[in-house]
Structure formats: structure tokens, C-alpha cells
Amino acid sequence: MNKLSRRAAAERWIISLTPFLKVITTKVKNLKLGEPRVNVGPRLIPKEVPSGQDKIRRGAVWFIDARNVGFHVDFYKAGLHIEAWSGKDRRVSVWLAGEFTETTLKKDLNAALAAAGITPRQAVRDIVTGQQ
């Protein structure tokens, strides 16, 4: 597949993911952690990566009390991967195979974020500073 047709296919894929990308954008706003320091995607990460599959990534990263806090969702043709972290010592990775809906993405994203300690601002600050 040449570069132009690959880019066109990636753009169509990103457009097809619009409802799911909106779930992520809404979650970023609802966390009330402020404007992310880094917004990731949506962008294509070609299959040359170790997983051997193309993926679309969308996520956000904040720095709270000098700690890296964030998450990303990788969309694959056959499922998705959610990774969330709050500091170096608290990381959650969830792989989901098969089909998913906006509702299941919301639930799975909420569960991964909660497990990583990413909830509205004060709760994250408490976790990363050890003041639980």
C-alpha cells in the first residue's frame, strides 16, 4: 500500500472512531485536571511497532506535583488497549479483544483510570503525594 492510500485509509479509520474519540475527550474534561500538558492523537501508529498491527492512539498527559499522570487508548482493528498511570509506580494496562461500544469504552476507561488512581484532581493529588 503506498503512502497516499495508507494515509487515506488512516483518515477514514479515524473518522469511523469519532464517537469513541469523543468519549475520551469528554473524559479528559470531566477529570477536571486542567488542560493536559500533552494531548496525543488521534494519530496512526503504523504496524512496524512491536505489536505488528496498525493502531490509532488518543490520550492525554498531565504533570501534577511534578508527577506524570495520564492515559492513552490504542484502537486496533480487533480490539483496544487502555493504559493509565499516575507516577512511575502506579500503571494499569488493559487489553480488550473483539468489538466494543461507546458504553463499554466508558466503563473500561473508567475502571482503568480508577485503578491507576486517576479521578478528579484532588484524588489524584492525594494519591501521587501519598496523602490517601
Say whether 73 sits in a helix, a strand or coil: strand
Side-chain-facing half-sphere of 92: CA atoms under 13 Å: 19
Cis preceding-peptide flag for 19 (omega within 30 of 0): no
Query: What are the per-10-residue average pLDDT scores of the chain (132 residues)?
Result: 77 93 92 85 72 83 87 92 89 91 92 85 53 53
The domains of the chain are located at 3-129
> Is the model's pTM score more than 0.85?
no
Cis peptide before 36 (omega within 30 of 0): no
